[in-house]
C-alpha cells in the first residue's frame, strides 16, 4: 500500500497543487493574448499525455494521434453550431473520436497487424482524413447548419458557454481554467489506470505480448481499450483547441502528428509528466523560433528530434532523474 | 485415469518440412511426463501447437474432452494450460512480484491474488529478489521467475520446455524437487536433455524423433532401449536420409 | 476507343510515377530494413538540384538525369554517416530520426529558397492520339521508368555489387565473416537509394511543381507502395504500384482527384489487412 501511495497518490497531489497554482496565478498575471496562447499549450499538453499513455505504456506507436485531435475539434464545432448550446457538444467531442479509435483499433489489433505496419496505417488514415476535410469546400458539405469549409475550416467555432445557458459564453480566463482542470483530470485518470490491474496488464503486454497471451490475457482487447482511451483524451484536447483557435484541416496534418511524437520522445517515453513538460517547452521554443528572422521553425523542430533520438534516446525527464539518482547514490 | 490432454494425428507442416508428424499423445490428470529427443525432433513445435501459437496443419487437440484445436493462445491458457518456454519469456521491465501478481490476478480477486503471489514466491524460493526488475536478473533466476509466473495462475497442466537450461547444479537439483512438489497439484510435461535429471523425476518417458513418437514407456525401459541410444548418439536406424535433413 | 486508350495511358502513367517515386525507398527498405521518412525530402532535393543546375545554364537533361541523382547521393552518404549508421537495428528510432531530418530539410530549404512554387516546364511537347493530345514527357517517363527498373534488376541480379548486397541482406553476420564489410555495403546501398530518389524528384518536377513541402505529398504514397509491396524490391514495387496506381486513376476518373487519392490509401489499408506482410510476403516469395 505504501508503494502505491508513493507512486500514485503522491504525484497526483503534486499535480493538483501545480494545477491550482496555475489557475490562480496565470489568469491575473498574463495578457489576454498570452492567456489564449497558454490555453493552446494546455490543450496540446492533453494531446501529448494521450500519446504518452498509448505509446509509452501501451507500446502502440500511433502516427495518427492528430486524427483523433482533429475529429474532437470538428465534432465540437459542428455539434455546437447545430445545438446552439455547447453542453452536449463537449461529451460528443470525446465520444466521437473514442468511437473512431475503437473502430480503427479493432481493425488494427484484431487483424494482428505488426508495429511498423500499424504506424503506416495510422499515418495513412490521418492523411485520408486530412485530404477529405480539405476537399469539403462548398455548400454540399454542410452538416446541419455547419459548413465544413474545406481548406478554411470553420472560423465561427463557438466558445464554451455555461452549461444550459447558451447566452452566457465563457471568458478566455475561464476557458483556461477549464483546460487546466481537463489536463489534471486526464493525468489523474491515466495515473489511476496505470495503478490498476488493467494498467499493469497493459504494461505487461507492452513488455512481452507473447507471455501475456500465454498467461491467458487477450492482448488485443487490452490494446484496444488503451488505444480508445487515448483517442478520447485526444478528442478532449481538440475540443479545447477549437475553443481558443478554430478548427481547420491543419489539425489533421502530418506535422501535428509529428510534433506529438516529438514531445513524447523528447519528454521521455514511459513517463506521463515528461511529455507534458516536453510539449510545453517545445511549443515555447517553436513560438520563439517563429519570431526569429530567417529561421524556419521546422528546422529547429526537426533538429531537436534528430538530436533527441541520437543523444537522449530515453528522453529528457528519465535522463535528468537518472542523473539525480546517480548523484544521490554517490 | 481420465485424459486431461489428448492429441490425435497432430501434424504441423512448414512448406515441405513436417515438424510434427501425426502425433497421438495422452496425458492423464496429475501425471508427470518427460519428453526427450534430439534437437530438431519437433518438441518445441509440438508445444507451440498445444498452446495455440501455431495452428496445426491437421489433427485435433482435446483438453478434458473439449476440442481446442485452432483456438487462440489466451483461450487455451484460460482452459488451464501454462507453459514455460525454452528461451525464458518474461516481462523485463516489470518487477518479479508484479509479474507473478499479474498472472495470479487473472484467476483470483485482488486480496487472494496478493496472498497467492507471496505463497508462490516462497515456494519457488525467489522472495528475496521479488522487488527487482526481471531484466536485471541472471539467466537461471529468470527461468525461476518464469516458472513462478506460470504457476501463479494455477494451471491444470504445466509444460516446462528445458527448465534447467543455464542453471547451476544447485539450481538444477532445487528445480527437480520443485517439479516433484508442483506435481502434487498440477499435471506436468517436462522436456529435458539431462538423463540424470529425468531419472530423478519421471515415471513415464516419451521419446520424440523426427516429429514422431519413437517410443513411450517407463523410464527404465526407455533408458535401456538400443534405438533411443542410437538416436542420441546420432546414428539413425530408421530413416537415415531424412535424418540428415532434420539435422 | 480513343478515350479508352487515353485512360489506359493515364493508368500506366500513374503506375510508372508511383514506381518511380517509390523505388529509392524500396531499395533502402528492402536491403537495409530502414524506413527512411526523409524520402520525400530526397525527392524535393533532387528537384531543387535540377532547378539550380538548369538556372546555371546546364542542359536540362543533364541536370535531371545526372546532377540531381549525384547531388542527392552525396547528401545520402552524409546522412548515412551522421544518423542512420548510429541507429541500425532500431527500426522505430530510425523512423523518428529520419522524420526529424525530413522536417529539418523542409525548414532549411524554405529558408534558402523561400516558400514559393518554382519549377521548369516539361520538355518534349505533346503527341496526338485520335482527338486527344497526350504529353510526350509522360510517355518518356513511362519508358524511362521501365528502363530504370530493368537496370536495377540487372545490377542486383548480375553484378558483384548486387550479389554482395543480396548476401548482406540475407545474413549480415555471415557476409561479415566472409570478409565483406556490411557497413560499407549499407553506405553504398543508402547512397544508391538516395540517388534513385533524387532522380525521381527531378523527373517529376516538371509535372508537380517544386516547393519545399513537395515531399510530403509523395512520402505517404511511396511509403504505402513499398509496404504494400512487401519485402521484394522490384516485384513488390511493381505489383503494388500497378495495383494502387490503377485504383487511383480509376477512382479519380469516376469521382474527383481527391477521392481518387483516398481510394488509393483505402485500398492499401484493406490490402495490408488481408496480406499483413505485403503482396510479395504472400505471392512471388523470394523474388527480387
User: Do residue A294 and residue C111 have CB atoms under 8 angstroms apart?
Assistant: yes
Tell me, yes or no, whether C131 lies in a domain: yes
Tell me, yes or no, whether C287 lies in a domain: no
pLDDT band at B241 (very low <50, low <70, confident <90, very high): very low
pLDDT in tens, C195-247: 999 999 998 888 888 888 888 878 878 888 888 887 777 888 888 888 888 88
pLDDT in tens, chain A (330 residues): 456 657 788 888 888 888 888 888 887 777 888 888 899 999 999 999 999 999 999 999 888 899 999 999 999 999 988 887 888 889 999 999 999 999 999 888 887 777 777 877 888 788 888 888 888 877 777 777 777 877 788 887 888 888 777 777 788 888 899 999 999 999 999 999 999 999 999 999 999 999 999 999 999 999 999 999 999 999 999 999 998 888 888 888 877 888 888 888 888 888 899 999 999 988 888 888 777 777 777 788 788 888 888 887 776 677 777 777 766 655
Spell out which residues of chain C touch residue A304, defining contact as CB-CB under 8 Å.
100
Task: Measure in Å the smallest separation between the Cα of A44 and chain B Cα atoms.
Answer: 29
Residue A224 in contact with partner chain B when CB distance is under 8 A: no
ipTM associated with this complex: 0.87
Spell out which residues of chain A touch residue C87, defining contact as CB-CB under 8 Å.
309-310
Alpha-carbon separation of residue A304 from A61, A75, A301, B22, B162 (angstroms): 19, 33, 5, 58, 47
Note which residues in 162-201 of chain A have CB less than 8 A from chain B. Answer: 197, 200-201
How many domains, chain C?
Answer: 1
Spell out which residues of chain A touch residue C224, defining contact as CB-CB under 8 Å.
120, 124
Residue A304 in contact with partner chain C when CB distance is under 8 A: yes
Task: Measure in Å the smallest separation between the Cα of B239 and chain A Cα atoms.
Answer: 35
Q: For testing the chain B interface, which of A215, A223, A269, A318 should be mutated: the one with the most B CBs within 10 Å?
A: A215
pLDDT at C284: 59
pLDDT at B243: 36
Which candidate from A200, A203, A215 shows the least CB-CB separation from B153?
A215
User: Do residue B77 and residue A219 have CB atoms under 8 angstroms apart?
Assistant: no
pLDDT band at B230 (very low <50, low <70, confident <90, very high): confident
CB B205 within 8 A of CB B176: no
User: Do residue C259 and residue A261 have CB atoms under 8 angstroms apart?
Assistant: no
Quickly list H helices, chain C.
Answer: 2-32, 39-55, 60-62, 68-82, 91-113, 136-158, 160-170, 172-177, 182-208, 214-229, 233-254, 257-274, 279-282
pLDDT band at B240 (very low <50, low <70, confident <90, very high): very low
Alpha-carbon separation of residue B234 from B170, B181, B209 (angstroms): 30, 34, 11
- Which residue carries 492567456 as its cell? A35
User: Do residue A200 and residue B77 have CB atoms under 8 angstroms apart?
Assistant: no
Spell out which residues of chain B touch residue A206, defining contact as CB-CB under 8 Å.
93
How many Cβ atoms are within 10 Å of A170's Cβ, its own excluded? 16
Residue A211 in contact with partner chain B when CB distance is under 8 A: yes
Spell out which residues of chain B touch residue A213, defining contact as CB-CB under 8 Å.
72-74, 77
The CATH number linked to C50 is 1.10.3470
User: Do residue B74 and residue A213 have CB atoms under 8 angstroms apart?
Assistant: yes
pLDDT at A329: 59
Alpha-carbon separation of residue A265 from A272, C101, C118 (angstroms): 11, 15, 35
Is residue B57 classed exposed, middle or buried when 0-12, 13-18 and 19+ CB atoms within 10 A define those classes? middle
Contacts A–B by Cβ distance under 8 A: 67
Cα nearest neighbour of A130 on chain C: C262
- The model's pTM: 0.85
Task: Measure in Å the smallest separation between the Cα of A110 and chain C Cα atoms.
Answer: 10
Residue A218 in contact with partner chain B when CB distance is under 8 A: yes
Q: Let me know the angle formed at the C-alpha of C187 by C43 and C201, rounded to the nearest 5 degrees.
A: 10
How many Cβ atoms are within 10 Å of A329's Cβ, its own excluded? 6
CA distance B100 to C4: 67
Spell out which residues of chain B touch residue A6, defining contact as CB-CB under 8 Å.
none
pLDDT at A265: 85
Which candidate from C108, C227, C259 shows the least CB-CB separation from A117?
C227
Tell me, yes or no, whether C288 lies in a domain: no
Residue A298 in contact with partner chain B when CB distance is under 8 A: no
pLDDT at C283: 65
Residue A120 in contact with partner chain C when CB distance is under 8 A: yes
pLDDT at B239: 43
User: Do residue C103 and residue A255 have CB atoms under 8 angstroms apart?
Assistant: yes
Touch criterion met for B and C (3+ Cβ pairs within 8 Å) = no
Which candidate from B72, B91, B103 shows the least CB-CB separation from A207?
B91
User: Do residue A313 and residue C93 have CB atoms under 8 angstroms apart?
Assistant: yes
Task: Measure in Å the smallest separation between the Cα of B94 and chain A Cα atoms.
Answer: 7
Cα nearest neighbour of A127 on chain C: C220
- B70 phi, psi to nearest 5 deg: 80, 5
- B32 phi, psi to nearest 5 deg: -120, 110
Q: Which of B103, C23, C251 is nearest to A215 (CA)?
A: B103
Residue A219 in contact with partner chain B when CB distance is under 8 A: yes
Tell me, yes or no, whether C76 lies in a domain: yes
Tell me, yes or no, whether C151 lies in a domain: yes
Alpha-carbon separation of residue A216 from B51, C2, C169 (angstroms): 10, 62, 37
Task: Measure in Å the smallest separation between the Cα of B59 and chain A Cα atoms.
Answer: 22
Spell out which residues of chain B touch residue A210, defining contact as CB-CB under 8 Å.
53, 73, 89
Tell me, yes or no, whether C238 lies in a domain: yes
Task: Measure in Å the smallest separation between the Cα of C99 and chain A Cα atoms.
Answer: 7
Q: Work out the mean pLDDT of chain B and round it to a whole number.
A: 84
Spell out which residues of chain A touch residue C276, defining contact as CB-CB under 8 Å.
111-114, 117
Grid cell listed for A275:
511529455
What is the separation, in whole angstroms, between the first and last Cα of chain A?
29
Tell me, yes or no, whether C223 lies in a domain: yes
Domain ranges, residue C203 = 2-282
Tell me, yes or no, whether C134 lies in a domain: yes
Q: Are strands C126-129 and C132-135 parallel, antiparallel or unpaired?
A: antiparallel
Residue A121 in contact with partner chain C when CB distance is under 8 A: yes
User: Do residue B94 and residue A204 have CB atoms under 8 angstroms apart?
Assistant: yes
DSSP string, B148-191: HHHHTT--SEEEEESTTTT--HHHHHHHHHHHHHHTTTSEEEEE
Segments of chain C scoring below 50 in pLDDT: none
Query: Percentage of chain B with pLDDT > 90?
Result: 25
pLDDT band at B103 (very low <50, low <70, confident <90, very high): very high
- C3 phi, psi to nearest 5 deg: -60, -45
pLDDT at A307: 86
pLDDT at B215: 84
Which candidate from B102, B110, B153 shows the least CB-CB separation from A204?
B102
pLDDT at A5: 59
Q: Let me know the angle formed at the C-alpha of C145 by C139 and C147, rounded to the nearest 5 degrees.
A: 105
Amino acid at each position: 500500500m505504501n508503494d502505491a501511495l508513493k507512486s500514485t497518490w503522491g504525484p497526483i497531489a503534486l499535480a493538483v497543487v501545480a494545477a491550482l497554482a496555475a489557475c490562480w496565478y496565470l489568469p491575473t498575471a498574463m495578457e489576454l493574448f498570452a492567456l489564449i496562447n497558454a490555453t493552446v499549450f494546455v490543450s496540446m499538453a492533453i494531446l501529448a499525455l494521450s500519446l504518452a499513455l498509448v505509446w509509452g505504456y501501451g507500446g502502440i506507436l500511433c502516427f495518427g494521434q492528430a486524427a483523433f485531435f482533429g475529429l474532437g475539434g470538428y465534432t465540437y464545432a459542428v455539434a455546437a453550431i447545430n445545438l446552439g448550446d455547447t453542453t452536449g457538444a463537449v461529451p460528443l467531442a470525446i465520444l466521437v473520436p473514442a468511437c473512431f479509435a475503437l473502430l480503427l483499433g479493432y481493425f488494427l489489433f484484431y487483424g494482428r497487424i505488426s508495429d511498423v505496419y500499424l504506424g503506416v496505417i495510422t499515418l495513412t488514415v490521418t492523411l485520408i482524413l486530412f485530404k477529405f476535410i480539405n476537399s469539403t469546400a462548398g455548400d454540399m458539405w454542410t452538416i446541419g447548419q455547419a459548413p465544413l469549409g474545406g481548406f478554411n475550416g470553420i472560423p465561427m467555432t463557438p466558445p464554451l458557454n455555461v452549461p444550459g445557458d447558451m447566452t452566457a459564453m465563457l471568458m478566455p480566463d475561464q476557458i483556461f481554467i477549464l483546460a487546466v482542470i481537463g489536463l489534471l483530470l486526464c493525468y489523474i485518470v491515466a495515473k489511476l489506470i496505470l495503478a490498476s490491474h488493467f494498467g499493469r496488464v497493459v504494461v505487461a503486454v507492452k513488455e512481452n505480448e507473447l507471455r501475456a497471451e500465454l498467461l491467458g490475457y487477450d492482448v488485443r482487447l487490452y490494446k484496444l481499450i488503451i488505444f480508445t482511451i487515448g483517442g478520447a483524451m485526444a478528442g478532449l484536447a481538440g475540443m479545447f483547441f477549437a475553443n481558443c483557435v478554430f478548427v481547420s484541416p491543419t489539425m489533421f496534418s502530418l506535422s501535428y502528428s509529428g510534433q506529438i511524437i516529438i514531445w513524447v520522445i523528447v519528454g521521455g517515453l514511459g513517463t506521463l509528466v515528461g511529455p507534458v513538460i516536453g510539449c510545453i517547452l517545445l511549443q515555447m521554443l517553436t513560438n520563439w523560433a517563429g519570431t526569429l528572422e530567417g529561421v524556419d521553425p521546422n528546422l529547429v523542430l526537426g533538429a531537436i528530434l534528430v538530436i533527441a533520438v541520437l543523444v537522449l534516446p530515453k528522453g529528457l525527464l528519465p535522463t535528468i532523474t537518472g542523473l539525480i539518482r546517480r548523484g544521490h547514490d554517490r | 485415469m481420465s485424459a486431461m490432454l489428448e492429441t490425435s494425428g497432430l501434424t504441423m507442416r512448414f512448406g515441405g518440412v513436417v515438424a510434427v508428424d501425426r502425433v497421438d499423445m495422452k496425458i492423464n490428470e496429475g501425471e508427470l511426463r518427460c519428453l526427450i529427443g534430439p534437437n530438431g525432433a519437433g518438441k518445441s513445435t509440438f508445444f507451440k501447437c498445444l498452446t495455440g501459437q501455431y495452428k496445426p496443419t491437421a489433427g485435433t487437440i482435446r483438453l478434458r474432452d473439449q476440442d481446442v484445436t485452432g483456438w487462440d493462445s489466451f483461450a487455451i491458457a484460460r482452459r488451464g494450460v501454462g507453459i514455460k518456454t525454452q528461451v525464458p519469456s518474461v516481462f523485463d521491465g516489470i518487477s518479479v512480484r508484479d509479474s507473478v501478481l499479474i498472472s495470479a490476478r487473472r484467476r483470483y480477486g485482488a486480496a487472494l491474488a496478493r496472498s497467492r503471489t507471496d505463497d508462490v514466491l516462497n515456494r519457488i524460493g525467489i522472495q528475496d529478489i521479488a522487488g527487482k526488475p526481471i531484466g536485471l536478473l541472471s539467466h537461471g533466476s529468470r527461468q525461476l521467475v518464469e516458472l513462478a509466473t506460470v504457476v501463479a495462475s494455477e494451471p491444470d497442466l504445466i509444460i516446462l520446455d528445458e527448465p534447467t537450461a543455464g542453471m547451476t547444479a544447485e539450481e538444477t537439483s532445487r528445480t527437480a524437487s520443485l517439479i516433484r512438489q508442483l506435481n502434487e497439484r498440477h499435471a506436468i510435461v517436462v522436456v529435458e536433455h539431462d538423463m540424470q535429471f529425468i531419472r530423478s523425476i519421471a515415471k513415464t518417458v516419451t521419446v520424440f524423433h523426427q516429429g514422431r513418437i519413437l517410443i513411450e514407456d517407463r523410464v527404465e525401459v526407455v533408458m535401456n532401449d538400443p534405438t533411443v541410444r542410437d538416436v542420441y548418439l546420432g546414428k539413425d536406424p530408421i530413416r537415415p536420409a531424412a535424418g540428415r535433413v532434420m539435422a | 476507343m480513343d478515350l479508352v486508350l487515353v485512360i489506359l495511358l493515364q493508368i500506366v502513367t500513374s503506375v510508372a510515377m508511383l514506381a518511380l517515386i517509390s523505388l529509392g525507398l524500396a531499395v533502402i527498405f528492402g536491403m537495409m530494413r530502414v524506413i527512411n521518412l526523409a524520402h520525400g525530402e530526397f525527392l524535393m532535393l533532387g528537384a531543387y538540384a535540377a532547378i539550380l543546375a538548369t538556372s546555371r545554364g546546364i542542359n536540362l537533361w543533364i541536370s535531371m538525369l545526372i546532377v540531381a541523382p549525384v547531388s542527392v547521393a552525396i547528401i545520402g552518404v552524409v546522412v548515412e554517416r551522421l544518423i542512420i549508421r548510429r541507429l541500425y537495428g532500431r527500426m522505430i528510432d530510425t523512423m523518428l530520426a529520419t522524420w526529424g531530418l525530413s522536417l529539418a530539410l523542409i525548414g532549411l530549404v524554405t529558408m534558402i529558397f523561400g516558400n514559393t512554387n518554382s519549377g521548369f516546364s516539361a520538355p518534349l511537347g505533346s503527341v496526338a492520339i485520335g482527338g486527344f493530345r497526350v504529353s510526350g514527357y509522360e510517355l518518356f517517363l513511362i519508358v524511362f521508368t521501365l528502363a530504370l527498373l530493368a537496370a536495377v534488376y540487372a545490377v542486383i541480379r548480375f553484378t558483384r555489387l548486387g550479389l554482395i548486397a543480396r548476401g548482406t541482406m540475407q545474413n549480415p553476420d555471415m557476409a561479415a565473416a566472409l570478409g565483406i564489410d556490411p557497413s560499407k555495403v549499407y553506405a553504398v546501398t543508402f547512397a544508391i537509394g538516395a540517388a534513385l530518389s533524387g532522380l525521381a524528384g527531378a523527373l517529376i518536377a516538371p509535372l508537380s511543381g517544386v516547393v519545399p513541402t513537395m515531399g510530403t505529398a509523395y512520402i505517404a504514397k511511396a511509403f504505402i507502395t513499398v509496404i504494400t509491396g512487401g519485402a521484394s524490391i522490384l516485384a513488390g514495387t511493381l505489383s503494388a504500384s500497378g495495383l494502387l496506381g490503377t485504383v487511383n486513376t480509376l477512382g479519380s476518373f469516376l469521382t474527383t482527384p481527391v477521392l481518387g487519392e483516398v481510394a488509393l490509401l483505402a485500398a492499401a489499408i484493406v490490402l495490408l489487412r488481408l496480406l499483413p506482410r505485403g503482396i510479395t510476403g504472400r505471392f512471388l516469395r523470394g523474388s527480387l
